[in-house]
Structure 1
Amino acid sequence: MTGHFAWHELMVPDTEAAADFYGKVAGWGRRDASTPAQPYTLLNAGDRPAAGLLPLTAEARAKGAIPGWVGHVLVEDLDATLAHAQALGAVVHVPPREIEIGRFAVIGDPQGAVLALFAGTLPEPQPIGTPGHVAWNELAAADWPAAFDFYAALLGWQRVEAVDIGAMGTYQTFAPGKAGTAMGGMYTKPGFVPQPFWAFYIFVGDIDAAARRVGESGGQVVNGPMEVPGGGWILQGLDPQGAFFALLGTRA
């Protein structure tokens, strides 16, 4: 289905250290999927690919890139979608590139949050609650209604449920199409958060056990565990290389 987050990738300077950390925290195995042009590691939950891992080069860092996760949204026509995104106020960080399974480009939305657009063949997303897979895609926007209008116009996203989160305002969930199941949410970030960003929540089962694994593996929990509507529990953290990550789980 076009319009959904079909893949997630982590870029860090030390991919071996990252594979070790997320292996301990999320239970991921690893498989080398490098090509002559690009080192690449598949991070697997059981026998299914869950995410990708590639090195953050010195050249990219010199241009301002930092360690972090990027979500890939599936589109039918990359060039047309990219042109539409620019017409709506987005900027292109990485122009279209060919890889073995398709083509992708990386954009910044009009408020600065980064994501990738992909046309090609990617695994179908797993149901929410599948261990080791990204279960939720969340945008901390400068102005969530304006951000939603951008993504609705570009990707056809639909509003699902608006949740009152008190002093933080409204948390708007969204789906990739009409009558679809929510795949994420967005809200207006507090002022102390420096810039808009996307966060991707990996389902890990028991959230307290996962929090312990984060600390034991050299990461840092910066928020949570905290309960969210629907009975789930989340935490947000920094991995040992400074990449922001998020976990979703349960508590007995």
Structure 2
Amino acid sequence: MNAASNFIWYELMTSDPSGAADFYGAVVGWKIPDSGEATAGGVDYRMIVRDDGGNAGGVLALTADMEAGGARPIWLGYLHVDDVDAAIVAITADGGAVQMGAMDIPVGRIAMVTDPQGAPFYIMDPVPPPGSEGMESDVVSVDQPQRVRWNELATSDPDAAIAFYKKHFGWGQEGEMPMGELGAYRFIQRGDVGLGAVMPLMEGYPVPAWNFYIGVDDIDRAREAVAANGGTISNEPMEIPGGEYAMNAIDPQGAPIGFVGPRK
């Protein structure tokens, strides 16, 4: 197993889980239940189920109190750590911040933090299901539909962000693609596997944030489904290295998301 940290879960925080279920069902093919399981504090939480029966992540319903506190629809990733409390100390010592303190849930110990530039993410020390100890999460894939295939950080200080994630999560950074006056699109790796990229903040990214690209079977079908189901296309499908296409969208509740796949 690669010792570097991986994304092990993804979570959509949304004001309308049922509306999000309809949208992502049409665009990606996911199945999201009509009702959720009440978690700590009675929060509505629903699993995202792939066609193969595995989970792609979860959907958390924003409560009125969360929205009053400034929470808005967003996708967040969970990064694996061996010790959540120690990771909090190390992250805050290097300029990060705690958004939600460490807490135990049935599947592990989690906390929500930000990197020094302000991009939020979860850290988690998971409790594996019986019989799957030592196995890696399969929510990430470099080539499979219905999984996150690419993790993209837009940030106000790419150099500092890359140094931060290298230090705390063991990632590498090799290769880049020029973006003209905007700077460079710099690729990040977990071992020898491409994890995603780090880029400067652009128009449409008011604050540093992670954006995730979900694999789809056909980018043009997905584009039509986004438009037909209340989403907004923010960047039209564009060819990427390898011959596939990527696009960016805003889901009907306002969460930014990307999609990637072939053109058929």
Indicate the TM-score class for this superposition, using the shorter chain for normalisation: over 0.9
Partner of 2:10: 8
Deviation of 1:191 (Å): 5.7
Deviation of 1:30 (Å): 2.3
* Secondary structure class of the residue paired with 1:40: strand
Structure 2, unaligned stretches of length 5 or more?
129-136
Deviation of 1:159 (Å): 1.1
Residues 8-157 of structure 1 aligned to structure 2 (within 5 Å): 8-31=10-33, 34-35=37-38, 37=40, 38-46=43-51, 47-121=53-127, 123-157=137-171
Distance 1:7 1:201 in 2: 14
Contact 1:45 1:131 in 2 (8 A): no
- Alignment identity in percent? 36
Distance 1:71 1:156 in 2: 16
* Secondary structure class of the residue paired with 2:197: strand
Structure 1 stretch displaced more, 71-80 or 227-236:
227-236
Partner of 1:195: 207
Deviation of 1:165 (Å): 2.8
Structure 1 stretch displaced more, 166-175 or 17-26:
166-175
Distance 2:199 2:114 in 1: 17
Distance 1:10 1:115 in 2: 12
* Secondary structure class of the residue paired with 1:124: coil
* Secondary structure class of the residue paired with 1:6: strand
Deviation of 1:26 (Å): 0.6
The one-letter amino acid of 1:161's match is: G
Contact 1:72 1:115 in 2 (8 A): yes
Deviation of 1:127 (Å): 2.8
Distance 1:228-1:63 versus aligned 2 partners, 3 A rule: same
Structure 1, unaligned stretches of length 5 or more?
none
Partner of 1:163: 177
Cα deviation, 1:117-169, whole Å, max 9, x if unaligned, reads 01114633443121111101000011111110111111111113222233332
Cα deviation, 1:185-242, whole Å, max 9, x if unaligned, reads 1111236631111001000021111000001111111111112223221111111111
TM-score, with structure 2 as normaliser: 0.89
Contact 2:177 2:184 in 1 (8 A): yes
Query: What is the alpha-carbon root mean square deviation over aligned residues?
Result: 1.7
* Secondary structure class of the residue paired with 1:154: helix
Partner of 2:131: none
Contact 1:160 1:182 in 2 (8 A): no
Partner of 2:261: 249
TM-score, with structure 1 as normaliser: 0.93
Distance 2:189 2:139 in 1: 13
Distance 2:75 2:151 in 1: 11
Deviation of 1:33 (Å): 6.0
* Secondary structure class of the residue paired with 1:152: helix
Deviation of 1:35 (Å): 4.1
Contact 2:103 2:110 in 1 (8 A): yes
Cα deviation, 1:55-78, whole Å, max 9, x if unaligned, reads 011111111111110000011111
Distance 1:111 1:161 in 2: 22
Partner of 1:234: 246
Structure 1 stretch displaced more, 28-37 or 94-103:
28-37
Distance 1:174 1:158 in 2: 6
The one-letter amino acid of 1:41's match is: R
Distance 1:195-1:3 versus aligned 2 partners, 3 A rule: same
Partner of 1:172: 186
Cα deviation, 1:32-62, whole Å, max 9, x if unaligned, reads 6614534211111111101200101111111
Deviation of 1:181 (Å): 0.3
Aligned length in residues: 250
